Amino acid sequence: MTAPLHFAEPREAAGIAAFLARLVHYDRAAAVRLQAGAGALAVFGRPPSFEVIAVRTAALQDGSALDTTVSAGELLDGVDEAAGKAIVPAPVTGPPWSGLLPPRGGWSEVPGAPDAAGLRGAVAEAVAEFRARDARLPSQHRTRAERDRIGREIWSRAVAGTGLPLRAAHAAQSLGFLPPAGAVPHEVPVVLLAAGPWLRLRTPYGSVAVRTATGVGAAGLGTLGVTPVRHRP
């Protein structure tokens, strides 16, 4: 059994628990990859349907080193928010995505990305379009396959010409990564970054990364750094 992880503050444990709960909501059998080092923890997950890698970081009390893949549900059960610690469960066989994480460095900012309000608006418009098109389908065509086709068409569109697919913005909103309505943009920034074939939407609450067919920005390999970002409660 791996030694418990001790978070720098109880709210760091609460943030990780909230992220794990959302992943388990979408997939009860979800696995997460954990990487810890230099006083920080990064938890990587891949919620179904969104086709993105979601990342939540947290500050630790010490420089514990860790790199393992575990059950998201079991890890959630092992988080003690009041004590600010987590029991790391036994490792599991990692899904394919866990071996191909976003790059550690080489990120550059992509200009023209909407702020949080713009992203929320784009997601709301996409949801409304899907519902409208679904309602117009003749009964004989209202099948899972046809609905999936419409969904793929809508959610694969780029946000404001940035190359970031709408599904990434949808994932960020669904996972609680977008700042709440009314937040001051410069105080809670939303930044789009690129490295090789990867795009990464980063906020103070977490990141979503997606591998695109064509790269934008500098190339990079390896794993995403685990420098913690102070998350707001």
Which pTM was predicted? 0.87
Contact 188, 179 (CB under 8 A): yes
DSSP assignment string, 5-19: EEBSSHHHHHHHHHH
Exposure of 70 by Cβ count < 10 A (0-12 exposed, 13-18 middle, 19+ buried)? buried
Token duo for residue 142:
């209202």
Beta-strand relationship, 198-203 and 191-195: antiparallel
In whole angstroms, what separates CA 46 from the centre of its chain? 7
What pLDDT shows up at residue 231? 46
Each residue's pLDDT tens digit, 91-135: 999 999 999 999 989 999 999 999 999 999 999 999 999 999 999
CB-based burial label for 180 (10 Å; 0-12, 13-18, 19+): exposed
DSSP alpha helix (H) spans, 88-184: 116-136, 144-155, 166-174
For the chain, which residues make up each domain, given as ranges? 5-99, 108-211
pLDDT at res. 67: 96
Q: What is the mean pLDDT of each run of 10 residues along the chain (233 residues)?
A: 88 97 96 96 95 96 93 98 96 94 94 92 96 94 93 95 95 92 74 96 96 54 40 43
pLDDT of residue 217: 40
pLDDT tens string 72-97:
999 999 999 999 999 999 999 999 99
Mean predicted lDDT score pLDDT of the chain: 89
Beta carbons of 231 and 12 less than 8 angstroms apart: yes
- Token pair, residue 87, equals 């029991």
Q: Within 10 A of 10 (CB to CB), how many other CB atoms are there?
A: 15
Return the SS3 of 41.
strand
> At residue 221, what is the residue type?
L
Give the tokens for residue 109.
């900012």
Cα end-to-end span (Å), the chain: 30
Fold of 5-99: DNA Polymerase III; Chain A, domain 2 (3.10.150)
Distances (CA, A) of 209 to 116, 139, 190, 224: 16, 37, 13, 10
